Amino acid sequence: MKKNHHQFGVSIQDNGSLKFKVWAPNVQQVELNISSPYHLRKPMIPEQNGVFTTYVDILSFPVEYTYILDGYTERADPASTWQPMGVNGPSKVCDHTSFKWNDEDWTGLDLKEMIIYELHVGTYTAQGTFKSVIDKIPHLKQLGINTIELMPIATFAGERNWGYDGVLLYAPQESYGGPIGLKQLVNACHQNGIAVILDVVYNHFGPEGNHLEDFGPYFTSKYTTPWGKAINYDGEYSTFVRDFIIENAIHWLKYFHIDGLRLDAIHGIFDQSAYHILEELRDRFAKAAEEEGRQACLIAESDLNDPKYVSPQTNGGCGLDAQWNDDFHHSVHSFVTGSRVGYFEDYGSVEYISKALTDGFVYDGIWSNFRKRYHGKSSAEIPGFKMVNFIQNHDQIANASHGLRLASLVDKKKYLLASTLLLLSPSTPLLFMGQEWATKTPFYFFTDFEDTELQEAVRKGRLKEYSLNGISEGFRDPGDIETFRECLLDWNWNKDEECMEVFRHYQKLIALRKDHPALNRSADSQTNVNYSEEGEWITIEKSTNKGDSCIVVINFSESPKTIHVDNHVYQSKALYSTENIHQFNDSITLEPLSFAVYDSTHICV
């Protein structure tokens, strides 16, 4: 028997009527309760396996509604696409046909070309809205960014949150601008040649406003996650749960023209089915993208160091397009900061930076002192562009560095060297908002729960994490609005010459990455790395089968270093470097904490 896919929520029929469909096997009856544009309470028709449907003729919008479960429990639609009054308010029908798109010529962006810029809508600007992000598109274009990645925007409790506590996955957060605001942002980005990736959470739901268990077995007790109940992907009725999640991914692609999804913490997605949920998600998402005539990607976050997630399905993998590479961050961060706290104790060498550049995972089956076991599997056969590298992201700033940006932990020279490694690495680079001008604005964890007991529990939990790391100062209460306000980016940075210098550095490196043949197509390039642990230097040579070559030489040491290189570098064209580079027949002498980039094919960039 062919499997039927279930689409829930509200759909507009050809005759103009609305079809309401909800899955609720945990109850005996469901009533549709419309509160606008008129009042109507109507029993829904039960179908097989707990599905309820009904049709309503609507003469005008907006339409606001809830579901009444077993005669007394009133809840928002689990597949609501609009929650103007928050997680506990009524749902509102979003007429997707009414929005005027102007991105007809946009067909997406190849992952190999992406330079990703992660941002949190609520703190990116003082206004904290999708519209205010649109206002910053000229800045992003000037920098050279061609892809933005939005931290989760699915409806969460309150008005400020990282977004990983979302409870209504189909509805964009109202305080950011709701569904219309998100469409306007994506539309504007596409008109400016910028792709939009959305961070989605398919491993748990947030605690406040989460009423899914009133409807059906969305969760399972077979597995546990650190953040909440595990989602039921392989138990009874899991077919409907899987459809709910996969249709959510397609929802963003189809109705909001999203160019890709970043799948949060897939190590918290548990499924023992023969057809893993991530494989099914990949297949159906790819098919939907093909039907829409656009490129779209799926990028995973995982701490398992397992290449199977991005390996082809023909080789037993899940076939996802890329995954975040924590090992690159940990290697660079621990080396330039000297930190050996927590998992950073496993890193801190130039050798590991070299390995992260060439192989992807550093921990590929070797012993981890932090974990007290062997960890990972080799990713050396995975193309470089399938690894997303970063030196900062929301997690690493707020959790590993307790809110402090890298620019607050190292001096400018080390910051520029770390940035050079990132942007000229063979992997897909990701920046975190404000990184491009070395902002020192912190980024803390913050929430806005109405439940005071829940808020206090979150505060105690975060404080305990600080205590376990031996830190007694710098703690910020997640529920204090001042914690949130401290995270708002300061857009007066361009009045500071040092910030401008860093910004120009990022501009130059991004331009080099885009324009140089050996840098702009990672999948078609080969990478060779040499290094000296004692000398604290590294060289990265990237070349193509067409003979194009680019060499990056970096001195991390506090003293000058003479670095032996291939003879052909002597004849190379210096593309970009710090001052006082001394070049000899077979060596280059770099000043302390400096770098040089050479084009050995004499291509003028």
Contact 253, 288 (CB under 8 A): yes
What are the tokens at 287? 């098919």
**61: number of Cβ within 10 Å:** 15
Task: Report the distance separating Cα 462 and Cα 445, nearest Å.
Answer: 9
Task: Report the distance separating Cα 407 and Cα 190, nearest Å.
Answer: 31
Task: Report the distance separating Cα 493 and Cα 286, nearest Å.
Answer: 41
Active site residue 301: yes
Q: Tell me which residue of 199, 82, 95, 209 sits closest to 149, measured CA to CA.
A: 199
Using CA of residue 456, residue 457, residue 460, residue 465, what is the dihedral sign? negative
| Catalytically annotated residue among 64, 174, 259, 301 | 301
Contact 300, 202 (CB under 8 A): no
Instruction: Estimate the crossing angle of helix 238-256 against helix 178-191, to 10 degrees.
Output: 50
What one-letter code names the amino acid at 26? Answer: N
396-416 per-residue burial string, b: 16 or more CB within 10 A, e: under 16: bbbbbbbbbbbbebbeebbbb
The dihedrals phi and psi of 2, each to the nearest 5 degrees, come to -70, 135
With tokens 């799926």, the residue in question is 298
Give Dmax over CA atoms of the chain in angstroms: 86
Contact 209, 154 (CB under 8 A): no
Using CA of residue 585, residue 591, residue 596, residue 602, what is the dihedral sign? negative
Using DSSP's 3-state secondary structure scheme, residue 425 falls into coil
What are the distances in angstroms from CA 442 to CA 473, 483, 489?
Answer: 14, 9, 9
| Catalytically annotated residue among 208, 264, 359, 541 | 264
Alpha carbons within 13 A on the beta-carbon side of 123: 29
With tokens 């001042």, the residue in question is 482
Number of H helices and number of E strands within the chain? 14, 31
Active site residue 541: no
Contacts of 139 (CB under 8 A, 6+ apart): none
Active site residues: 264, 301
